[in-house]
Amino acid sequence: MTRTKTLSFLTAAAAGALLAACAVGPKAPEAALPTSGTGGFIGAANPAVTATTPARDDWWRLYDDPTLDGLIRQAFAENNELEAAFANLRAVRASLSEARVGRFPTTTTSAQAQRSRASAATVTGLPAGEDAPEIDTYDVGLSASYEVDLFGRVESTIRAARADARAAEAALATVQVSVAAETARAYADVCSANAQIAVAERTLELQRNTANLTQTLLDGGAGTGLDVASARAALAQTAATLPTLRASRNEALFRLATLTGRTPAEADQAAAACVRPPQLSRPIPVGDGAALLARRPDVRQAEANLAAAAARVNVATANLYPQISLGGSFGSTALESSELGDDQNYRFSFGPLISWSFPNVFAARAQIQAAGARSDAALATFDQTVLTALQETETALSNYANELDRRAALTEARDQAARAAILSRQRFNAGADSFLVVLDAERTQAAADAALAQSDALVTTYQIALFRALAGGWQAES
């Protein structure tokens, strides 16, 4: 998607907010996201890496890893951040239900029994020294009132609450995207750390054999102390990498336990035993820019916040005008409870009510300006969210494609380093080279193996970052 096309539909969103009208004040824009393809991504030119087919919500299934599938399923069911987001959504939906009540009449029922006595000084014709009589009064009734929404205050309040609900739904989806991606990344980090530990342990075994050989040669008078010291130094250097790798593995495992709602002591043992990062056997489906913006929950949340802010400008404007209500009541009042149903004791009232707290014009204008400023801020946030979504996706595509190229080069380097190590040992055995050449070749091979294992880990990390940028995983499994 080009910058010109992106900014054109953002301008359309702003124009929609200004041109649409309600009873008073501006009307919130409808969805301003493009609905047709607007071109592919810059970083999606290699068909071996990406495909233009629509991105998948259940992207983790592309790895064909049952352990990963189970972890994602458990995270969706047990993650505490998700539970909090669900609770927040329920609260916002309850507020929407409360706002919708404004469309309907409000009713009140009452029943009262009261004994009273007036002051003797206020009762005329009462003999001196006598108390006023005590009177029992009984009353039952029903009253109702309905606000005539001439200036759109009620409907604007409902639109704002409805937009808040959409924003909360998108916020929940954002958490779902994050939980799915972070769970997969933690699992991949565990697997990658185990793979790098295995490489280090194989290298350590090779270097231990080499150190033993140099000592045997020295004991037999055919070696040198320099060979022994160099071999032992290489052995110690490799051994020093293992504690760091094990700590990284444990950190990722504990992070995975937290994401799936478990304590570190309850970390998944199948994940702990994984020895290879998840691998893709097909290109990543990325879709196009328009589809990305339509599915990204942060974009949808920003759009909903914009709609809510515009609706609240309407509410602030409508508050300048009087509120008109139609009300009435019906009931019965009697001096005896048994007389409440008598015809002569019924009462009723009906009529319109106009209430207008005449506003201070400066305060009213300030409230409208504040609401308008918040609407402008929401529009700017929406624009920035769209640009950030595109930037994150292009960056993820670039990182992934370039790391694939780097891994291919590192694979070639590893293969050649392994061949060089074999040849150097053969030449040493034939007396053509010194043992230092063998040690140098083995160090090169160990470094190449470690670099390739790290690149394997980065490839998976960048894959997951790309899936996250494409907003995969925002619908939990049913």
pLDDT tens across the length of the chain (478 residues): 444 444 343 334 333 333 333 445 555 444 444 444 344 677 776 777 888 888 888 999 999 999 999 999 999 999 999 999 999 999 999 999 988 888 888 888 988 888 887 776 766 777 776 777 778 888 888 888 888 878 888 899 999 999 999 999 999 999 999 999 999 999 999 999 999 999 999 889 988 988 898 888 888 887 788 888 988 998 999 999 999 999 999 999 999 999 999 999 999 999 999 998 998 888 898 888 888 888 899 999 999 999 999 999 988 888 788 888 888 888 888 888 888 888 888 888 887 877 777 667 778 788 889 999 999 999 999 999 999 999 999 999 999 999 999 999 999 999 999 999 999 989 888 888 887 888 888 889 989 999 999 999 999 999 999 999 998 765 544 3
Task: Give the H/E segment covering residue 348.
Answer: strand 346-355
Backbone angles phi, psi at 59, to 5 degrees: -60, -30
Of 141, 150, 145, the residue nearest 104 (C-alpha): 145
Task: Give the H/E segment covering residue 457.
Answer: helix 435-469
Residues 6+ apart with CB under 8 A from 260: 71, 74, 75, 78, 79, 183, 268
The Cα 160–Cα 372 span in angstroms is 14
The Cα 447–Cα 441 span in angstroms is 10
DSSP string for residues in 126-149: PPTTPPPPEEEEEEEEEEEEEEE-
**And the tokens for 197?**
């530990």
Report CA-CA distances (Å) from 316 to 24, 225, 364, 367: 10, 87, 8, 6
